[in-house]
Every structure is written in C-alpha cells, then in structure tokens.
Chain A
Amino acid sequence: MSANEWQILGLTLRTAALSTLLIVPPALAIAWLLARYRWRGKSLVETLVALPLVMPPVATGLILLKLLGRRGPIGRVLDLDIIFTWRAVVAAMMVMSFPLLVRAARVAFEEVNPRFEQIARTLGASDARVFATITLPLAARGIVSGMLLAFARAIGEFGATILVAGNIPGRTQTLSLAIYHYVQLGRDDDAFRLLAYAVAIAFAAVWTAEAFLRRSART
C-alpha cells in the first residue's frame, strides 16, 4: 500500500470513526424516545430522521452547503471554516449515517423486556440507573451493530461529501471521493486498488454487525 493510499484510508477511517462517535448520544436519545414513549409529533420526528436514507445524497449535501457555508445560518455563527474542510466530511457522514443508528438502536431498545426495567424500578433504582444498568447493556449488541452499519455508511458517503467538502487530495479526499477522482483521471488501476479496500472494509463492518445481531438473538 502506497503512502498516498495510507493517507486516504487513514483520513476515511478517522472521519468515519469520529462521525459515528458524535452521533451516538443524539441517536440513542431519539431512539429511546421513539421506542419507549408516545408523544405529539412522534411520527414527524420519525420521518425527519429517516429522510437522509431516502433523499438524494446530493440534495442533502446542498442543504448542508447552504446551512454550513460562510454565509449560511450555522456557518455564520460559527467562527470557523467548515465547507471544504475535514469538518464538512464529518458533517456529511453524520447526517447520512444518523438514520441507520437510530433505527438499529430503536429496535434494540424495543427488544428489551420492560419487565426487567420495572423490577429494577420497584427495587428503588432511579430512571438513570435503570437505563445505564439494565436497558443499555441489554440493547448493547443491537446498538453496536447499528454503530458498525453507520460507520460503514459513513465510509461510503459520496454525494453529500463531494458538495460540501470538495475533493481535496490529502485533506478532504476520502476513499469514495478518491475512487471517483482516479476514474476521472483515467487511473483505473489505482481506482481498483481503492475499490478493493472499500469492499474489504464494508464486508468486515457488515459481517461483524450481523455477528453481533446473531449473538443477541441467541441470548
């Protein structure tokens, strides 16, 4: 593997890992609310959360570009450049992989038998303690599986990323963008090598995610 390929892979894995970690708290909170409670506007939130899964990624990218750009409502407030930097890569990955984690975590929470939680509560445990010691451990496999899927989706992100992050070698060029870049340049051999890495990573992530789910089904 060449230094350049290491660099591309390193950037991709780092940004995807950061993206996955950053979406865990909000995704779990929303998944929990969706799984356990009924509230006004619930179906609206459900739909909004799922939108990035079905919207054209490039359309999502355009929204992000307008929001995060130097003149955008968010970009103007933050005193730092997001567009065309690695931050934009992470932002695009977060938005695009968020629905996958919410869905997986919601299913995992729904599968936790509420009786265990009730028993803990009757024994005097606070809500926070019940969540931390009963619900979360029981849902952990499903959540980890969801995190792996979100991570894999983040690695594959292209449509939104190319709009908000550009395709800057060494700075915002992730695996997917680099493949596109090489194909455009006619460097098919380089593209195929990166393709092999992409397949290997995706395969490993999905395989592990499935393995987690299988084990949780057995227990």
Chain B
Amino acid sequence: MLRLLLLLSIATNVAAAEIRVFAAASLSDALTEIAAAYEKKSGDHIVFNFASSSLLARQIELGAPADLFFSADEAKMDALQKRGLIDPRTRVSLLSNTLVIAGANITSPRDLIGRRVALAEPDSVPAGIYARTYLERIGLWRQIAPNVIPTENVRAALAALETGNVDAAIVYRTDVRSGRLQPAGGLKPAATFEIRDGPPISYPLAAVTRNPAARRFLTHLRSKTALDVFAKHGFLIR
C-alpha cells in the first residue's frame, strides 16, 4: 500500500501538473506573460479563467475548480476567506493599481458629465466599485450615473470605448498601458486622465486548493522575476 502511494506520488510529480488560476480580467496580459515563461521552466500547465473578480468569487463559491484566486479587490477575497474557501496562510496582497479616465478630450472628471461612460459594473465588479467610490467622493456620481454603461468586467469597458460606442471609460492604468487602446479608435494612451486621488486598489492572491504545483506557482508570483513583469505592465508593487 505504502509502495503504491509512493509510486502514485512519483507519477504525479513527473507528469505535468495542471494549475487552474482564476484571475481578475485586468491581470490577463501580465499573468499570461508570466505563465508562458513559467510553463517552459517548470513543465506545469497553467489554465486561466479571466473574468471580473466578482464573477470568479461567485464561481469559486459554487464549487468551480480553481487552485489559485487572484482578485482585484480585498472584499471578494474576504468573502471567500469567511466561508473557509481559501487558505488564509497563503493570502498575500501583491499589487496595486490606479484608475484612469480614457477618452477623447478628457482633462478632468467633470468632462464626464453628459457623456456616455463605460465602467465595470459598479455594484459588484472591483474596477466599477473603485470608480464609483471615487466619483461619489468627488461628488460627481449623481450627475454621471445616468449615462453610465456598466460592463461585465474592466476590459469590456475599454472595448466599448475602442469600438466608439461610448465617449469615455474608467479603467485601470494598466489596461491602457498594455497597449490595448488602439490608435484606430482615434485614441492614444495619452488621451487619458490619471486619477491620482482614487481609492486604494489592492490585488490579493491566495490558494484555494492544496495542489502543490499551484503552491509553487504562487511562490513564483511573489518572486522578483514575476513582480518585474507586473511592474513592466504598470502595476504598483506593494
């Protein structure tokens, strides 16, 4: 019996392990780049599920197979931790970010009044909640809310701007930096207003399962190699 177990454990160690990572949409470019290099080095296979953190947290609650959860806000992680769905000892807040207003001729948040503004769903999706919190604090939310187009996640807000169906979008600075705002849309990353006094943004990471390969990848995400990639994509290292 012991020998069988030993054999099994060797077999699983040798075979390429699969690591299932549920991560906020805003992390997609940086994580994909980190994972590609990590897969080559480790031989493990990383499967991503990129979506809004709210949707991912909900999926994990309902039993979706995730080894790691990388959220764009602490609240979603808190909710999972309270239900005992993540391992709190692995939880670490790695990154921060800031919001920008992207759109033509935007020099101040007041320019959003009367324009169609796409932002991630402001009741549940982190990027939307951050944007709403900011606009509420500066007293503009009531005027802007009637023209808000809520989207599934932060990247969808940017996509709505790229196709020209909205006038502006509130997204993370990393979304624009990743070169996703195509000049074809008549916009350059320069056409953004950086929100310097927005709410603090924090990206916590934690293990959901005991998958040892996933734990190794989690450690790798905290390494300098990985953090450098995040920094290159514009994330602030905490």
Residues of chain A touching chain B, judged by Cβ–Cβ distance below 8 Å, are 65, 69-71, 81, 83-84, 166-169, 181, 183-186
- The smallest beta-carbon distance between B167 and chain A, in angstroms, is 10
Residues of chain B touching chain A, judged by Cβ–Cβ distance below 8 Å, are 54-55, 58, 61, 116, 121, 123-124, 148-152, 160, 163-166
* Cβ B163 vs Cβ A69 within 8 A: yes
Q: Give 6 nearest A-B pairs by CB, closest first.
A: A83-B165, A70-B164, A71-B164, A84-B149, A185-B124, A166-B149
* Cβ A84 vs Cβ B58 within 8 A: no
CA distance A181 to B128 in the complex (A): 14
* Cβ B164 vs Cβ A69 within 8 A: yes
* Cβ A186 vs Cβ B163 within 8 A: no
- The smallest beta-carbon distance between A202 and chain B, in angstroms, is 25
* Cβ B149 vs Cβ A71 within 8 A: no
Q: Which residue of A lies closest to B124 (CB)?
A: A185
- The smallest beta-carbon distance between A48 and chain B, in angstroms, is 25
Neighbouring A residues of B121 by C-beta, 8 Å:
167, 181, 184
Q: Which residue of B lies closest to A84 (CB)?
A: B149
Neighbouring B residues of A65 by C-beta, 8 Å:
163, 165
Q: Can you name 16 extra interface pairs (CB under 8 A) apart from A65-B163, A83-B165, A84-B165?
A: A65-B165, A69-B163, A69-B165, A70-B163, A70-B165, A71-B164, A81-B116, A84-B116, A166-B149, A167-B121, A168-B148, A183-B58, A184-B55, A184-B124, A185-B123, A186-B58
- The smallest beta-carbon distance between B125 and chain A, in angstroms, is 9
CA distance A69 to B149 in the complex (A): 14
* Cβ B58 vs Cβ A184 within 8 A: yes
* Cβ B150 vs Cβ A168 within 8 A: yes
Taking A184-B58, A185-B54, A185-B124 as contacts, is the C-beta distance between A168 and B164 under 8 angstroms? no
Taking A84-B149, A185-B123 as contacts, is the C-beta distance between A71 and B163 under 8 angstroms? yes
- The smallest beta-carbon distance between A10 and chain B, in angstroms, is 19
Q: Give 5 A-B contacts (CB < 8 Å), ordered by A residue.
A: A70-B164, A70-B165, A71-B163, A168-B150, A186-B58
CA distance A4 to B151 in the complex (A): 20
Neighbouring B residues of A69 by C-beta, 8 Å:
163-165
CA distance A81 to B163 in the complex (A): 13
Q: Which residue of B lies closest to A83 (CB)?
A: B165
* Cβ B150 vs Cβ A166 within 8 A: yes
Q: Which residue of A lies closest to B184 (CB)?
A: A71
- The smallest beta-carbon distance between A160 and chain B, in angstroms, is 15
* Cβ B149 vs Cβ A184 within 8 A: no
Taking A184-B54, A184-B58 as contacts, is the C-beta distance between A166 and B163 under 8 angstroms? no
Neighbouring A residues of B152 by C-beta, 8 Å:
167
* Cβ A186 vs Cβ B123 within 8 A: no
